[in-house]
Amino acid sequence: MHQPGADTWYLPDGLRAEALFSALTAEFGLDVAPAYAATVVYADSFDWRLYQQGYLLHCHGRCWTLYHGDSGEITVQQGGPELQGSCAARDFPPGQLRELLEPLLSVRCLLPLAPVSLSGRQIRLLNRDEKTVARMVVETQQPTGKGVAFRLVRLFGIRGYDHEQTRIRHILEEQGVRETASPLIGFEEGCLALGRRPLDYSSKFVLELDDASTARQAMARVYQTLLDNILRNIPGVLAGWDSEFLHDLRVAIRRTRSGLSLVKQVLPEETVDRFSREFGRLGSLTGPTRDLDVYLLNQDAYLNRLPPALRPGLQIFFADLGRRRQIEQKKLARALRAKKNRAVLTAWHRALKSRDRQPAPLAGIPVKELGRKIILKRCKRVLRDGRALNADSPDTEVHRLRIQCKKLRYALEFFSSLFPKQEMQTLIRHLKKLQDILGGFNDLSVQQEMLRLTLRDLRTGSRRNPELTAALGGLMQSLYQEQQELRTHFTEAFSQFGDPETTALFHELFRHDQHGRAKSAGHNEQ
């Protein structure tokens, strides 16, 4: 459907807005609104959740405006919290803005991005009936702390008045308004000044590997990408902005550890040994806080599992968890700041960059061959264990399959850029379905175990304990039931992944062909 969007140009240096207006009055009536000026602070989640959906959000004190980046159309303007450090969707008063932000941001908080000074005027262009046929904004955008100011003209068309808009464009061009600009230039430049670029962070692992690189070169890039990810998430963990920083940090550590155990004989053995140990230790440092986060994030869902009479008891439990989280978070922050742990990351970076004195046996093979070999091996494991899975499998076997799946998933992600995109997506999709069920099953196990430990450690005699005990008991029952229910889905979840078609796809993509073998043999001889 035809919907004229906005066009944006730079206002030439010599051209004053008034001169432009008077040129337009030859053909149009002009309704120029009073000038506005404000310094706004743009805000988004660390992983650009609003920007991804085409939204921009800025605040001016307590006044928040959410609008569409492309059209500049305001979606909602409303009061909200003052943005100091960070704020969450739930900090907004109930209303439209909060309703929009909550699903978009989910668990992520808003962080301040660039402060930008905006000043300008809105103009309505009118025909002889004084009907608005187009809107125009003449605006100066100046990122704070930067010398440059961007002077822009934006034209917003109105449906059904194409002819008039053509005329307006013509007049603009005559006035020398020709160079098109990004309407978000102030925002973009402001972000750059802070060292950020829109969409410069995503929790997904994305890396384009070079087909021609060796296993050693490629793995160094994989690890370096993960290390960057670790480093970028640490500030957010230390500041406690939202729980996703810790989550992403943990995932990056886990991926690194997985890499170290999956990919053998590419890095020197002593390097692998040392950093497997170190990252294992870092991973376990972050565990307790994350476990508590998982609980706290599910607070509402847990409360809903219980009959109203038992809920107050659970609230006691959550209040307790909240306090414990604070303590754990402090410990974690101290550990992450510790020189020893910082030094591990620096040493890892150095190990990746430097030349190995004694290259490992497989360091020189082509990366594609390495990827094939590892993925195929992982796949066989998952298929073997998966076929054995049924509704009666003991928890330990379910757990083992879950870990196998995780390893396969990471292997697929590390090397995915080397193989056909669509096929990889299909495989990952099937695998993800299986992982979701196994992951859900495991979460329920972990949660029950935690409840069991909490119950065990409860001291007798306190007045609030009966209430708490009853609530925890009720919750355990509900978790157990759901877990049993999940078991009945095991076979179904595996069927898609294990069907002949998917298996064939795996073989087709990752089997060593004659050509590959010959090539690898050649490498080994060198």
Partner 1 sequence: MSIIAVYNIKGGVGKTAASVNLAYLSSQQRGKTLLLDMDPQGSASFYFRIRSPKKFGTKKLLKGGRHIEDNIKGTDYPGLDMLPADFSYRNIDIALDECKKSHKRLGKVLQPLHEEYDRIILDCPPNLTLLSENIFYAADCILAPVIPTTLSLLALEQLFEFLEEIGLGRDKVLIFFSMVEKRKKMHAEMMRSLGKENGVLQATIPYSADIERMGIYRQPVAAALPGSSAAAAYERLWHEIQDRLVV
Q: At a CB cut-off of 8 Å and minimum separation 6, what does 146 contact?
A: 189, 190, 193
Q: Which of 45, 44, 46, 40 is nearest to 62 (CA)?
A: 40
Binding flag, residue 130, partner 1 (CB under 8 A): yes
Out of 18, 27, 70, 73, name the contact with partner 1 by CB under 8 A: 73
Q: Which residue is it, tokens 């919750």?
A: 475
Binding flag, residue 124, partner 1 (CB under 8 A): yes
Token couple for 451 = 């409840």
Out of 132, 175, 426, 448, name the contact with partner 1 by CB under 8 A: 132
- Which one, 73 or 485, has the nearer CB to partner 1? 73
| Choices 70-78, 250-258, 388-396, 433-441; region in contact with partner 1 by CB under 8 A | 70-78
Q: Which of 141, 176, 139 is nearest to 155 (CA)?
A: 139
- Which one, 76 or 207, has the nearer CB to partner 1? 76
Out of 15, 23, 32, 158, name the contact with partner 1 by CB under 8 A: 158
Asked whether the beta carbons of 118 and 149 are under 8 A apart, the reply is no
- Which one, 50 or 133, has the nearer CB to partner 1? 133
Binding flag, residue 65, partner 1 (CB under 8 A): no
Binding flag, residue 122, partner 1 (CB under 8 A): no
- Least distance in angstroms from the C-beta of 150 to partner 1: 25
Half-sphere exposure of 76 (CA within 13 A, CB side): 10
| Choices 48-56, 153-161, 198-206, 242-250; region in contact with partner 1 by CB under 8 A | 153-161
What are the start-end ranges of the H helices in 49-184?
A: 49-52, 96-105, 162-174
Binding flag, residue 161, partner 1 (CB under 8 A): yes
Count of chain residues binding partner 1 (CB under 8 A): 15
Phi (first) and psi of residue 355, to 5 degrees: -80, 140
16 exposure class (CB count in 10 Å sphere: 0-12, 13-18, 19+) = exposed
Cα separation, 448 vs 304, in Å, equals: 17
| Choices 125-133, 240-248, 293-301, 363-371; region in contact with partner 1 by CB under 8 A | 125-133
Out of 1, 26, 518, 521, name the contact with partner 1 by CB under 8 A: 1
Binding flag, residue 131, partner 1 (CB under 8 A): yes
- Which one, 42 or 161, has the nearer CB to partner 1? 161
Cα separation, 211 vs 219, in Å, equals: 12
Taken in order 265, 269, 274, 280, the sign of the CA dihedral is positive
Site string for partner 1, 95-114 (x = CB under 8 A): -x------------------
Binding flag, residue 159, partner 1 (CB under 8 A): yes
Binding flag, residue 16, partner 1 (CB under 8 A): no
Cα separation, 428 vs 312, in Å, equals: 42
Q: Where does this chain bind partner 1 (CB under 8 A)?
A: 1-2, 73, 75-76, 96, 124, 129-132, 158-161
